[in-house]
Amino acid sequence: MTTRETMTETAVFLTHPHVPLEIISFFGKSTTSSLLVKGLAGTGKTTFALEMIEVMSSFENVYYVSTRVSNEALYRHYPWLREKELHAPHKARAPAPKAAEKEMAFITPGDYFSKEKFMYAGIRRLEEERKEEPAAKPRQERSLNFETPYLDRLGRREAIPDIEAVYRKVNDNIPNKSFFVLDSLKGLVGKYHLEPEELIFTLQKDLVERNYADLLVVMEEREPTAVDFLVDGVVEQRIFEESGRRYRTMNIQKLRGEEIRQPDYLLTLHGGHFRSFQPFTPVQIKGGIKCSPITAPAGYYSTGSPTLDEILEGGFPVGANVLFEIGNGVPNEAARLLVSNTILHFLVSGGGVMFTPFAGASHAQLSQLATAAGLENEFRNHMVLTAHTGGAKEEDINVLPLDFKNIEEDSKKVQRARKALEERTRKGILEVVGVETVVSRHGQDAYSRELDISAEGTAQEGNLTLRVTTSDESRLKDKVSAISDIHFGLMEFAGSILLYGVKPKTRFYHISWKPGDGNLLPTFVPIV
């Protein structure tokens, strides 16, 4: 890949990070390529095709031919098209666009090229950082005579006005690249009584290989077909349901000449846009963290995230017992960041916190976060950390040493410490309990007996208890879930982290952290 191509790929991906990097790179080269987008109905193929039109419209003339929906249906299902002025009323053919301007034409049923009716997009200018056009082949290297031997053979049976007009538009744009989207293959071949492979073979040979056009074809099919072997790339979009919750994925099956760094991506169609997600990456905390108190409605504690408060219709209820179930493959850091956000919010709001470590969340890690948030004093004075007596130090004045020999005796120590913390803060107390930590010291049976008493105490005293456990502890998890008012789960797919509510039941939400300007709040995106 040349330096120019690398810069173009990076710039486009930074502007459109919701499209997989492999596909950006696949279409970002000076050569032309064809991509088949497969999948059953409802998997989001059209939404992806329209998103790619938005991406490519800054670099190439784009032409979208639809045999399935009208322009008004596009407006209705994808309102952002109208908002971005991707459509404009029919008008006469415009002069050839300037170097920094691109043409966009949407062709839907009843707007065939043979009648010279086009829906042109408003002329769009490249942003400053994208002034450089992709390298175009010199005119002398490519014929402008528009040789179309394969279309000529195909058209002997009957005229194909939709495709013929696209050929003319693509030819007019040479030596600049064009981006042609066909949605869908089945609709067009059915209309003209063609075989899918003969139409794709024709488009591949005439447009992609001879006339400098990129091609994206939508096909409602899952199983391998002859078309898969004719195109340069194949992706399949899929839809799954798990316990009544829906999520969609994109599987990259081949991209000729491109390294596939990640074959599967989680995606959402929220807001009528296609958006895929990058894998969770460790969060590098540099400098301070902004942490401000959030005013929750009466009868609620804020989770520390306005979005999560909204999902819960107010936040965590006062006196609630909450379970966070961590699924297999979920990084410890993701669970720690999510729970730590609530801990930091309690501290910045003047509340007290009782903390028993869980996998990936230690005293030292919490201390680091509190220091970054400027809450050293609150961490020292309003937080009680449980530890084995052998690990407690005299200088750790906020460490509550426990023997972990008798759960009833340890519970009494915790109750006394919690009462003292309530007197100091005069506010509700957050208690975070790593279930596996307690079980490893006291055993499942002892902790199971203690659960009912602990849960009842939280409710009566109007505090908040967050228990963190893993999916592996199935028997104990069921007991913890039964005494919990709220049960959240975290699961992993293709490196992405999903949050979902078991009680109350919610859809999937993609969760991520993008620390910047001192903000470490989690971001939640609905998976639809």
- The pLDDT score that the predictor gives to residue 268 is 96
Query: Over the stretch 48-63, which tens digit does the pLDDT of each residue have?
Result: 999 998 888 877 888 8
* Across 55-64, 130-139, 262-271, least confident range: 130-139
Contact assessment for residue 468 and residue 390, using Cβ atoms and an 8 Å cutoff? no
- The pLDDT score that the predictor gives to residue 502 is 96
Cβ contacts of residue 204 below 8 Å, gap of 6+?
A: 34, 215, 230, 231
Do 3-124+140-276 and 300-526 share a fold? Answer: yes
- The pLDDT score that the predictor gives to residue 271 is 87
Name the more confident of 128 and 509. 509
Name the more confident of 296 and 97. 296
Average pLDDT over residues 169-189: 87
- The pLDDT score that the predictor gives to residue 90 is 31
Classify residue 207 by burial, with Cβ atoms within 10 Å: 0-12, 13-18, 19+.
buried
Question: Which superfamily does 300-526 belong to?
Answer: P-loop containing nucleotide triphosphate hydrolases (3.40.50.300)
The reported pTM is 0.84
Pick the CATH number of 3-124+140-276 from 3.40.225.10, 3.90.1170.50, 3.40.50.300, 2.60.120.560: 3.40.50.300
**Confidence band for 92, pLDDT divided at 50, 70 and 90:** very low
Mean pLDDT of the chain: 82
pLDDT of 149 > 50? The answer is yes
pLDDT of 79 > 90? The answer is no
Average pLDDT over residues 59-79: 71
pLDDT of 495 > 50? The answer is yes
- The pLDDT score that the predictor gives to residue 401 is 86
Domain ranges for the chain, please list them: 3-124+140-276, 300-526
**Confidence band for 360, pLDDT divided at 50, 70 and 90:** confident
Query: Over the stretch 464-491, which tens digit does the pLDDT of each residue have?
Result: 999 999 877 667 888 999 999 999 999 9
Do the bridges between strand 496-503 and strand 178-183 make them parallel or antiparallel, or are there none, so unpaired?
unpaired
Q: What is the 3-state secondary structure (H, E, C) of 326-355?
A: ECCCCCHHHHHHHHHHHHHHHHHCCCEEEE
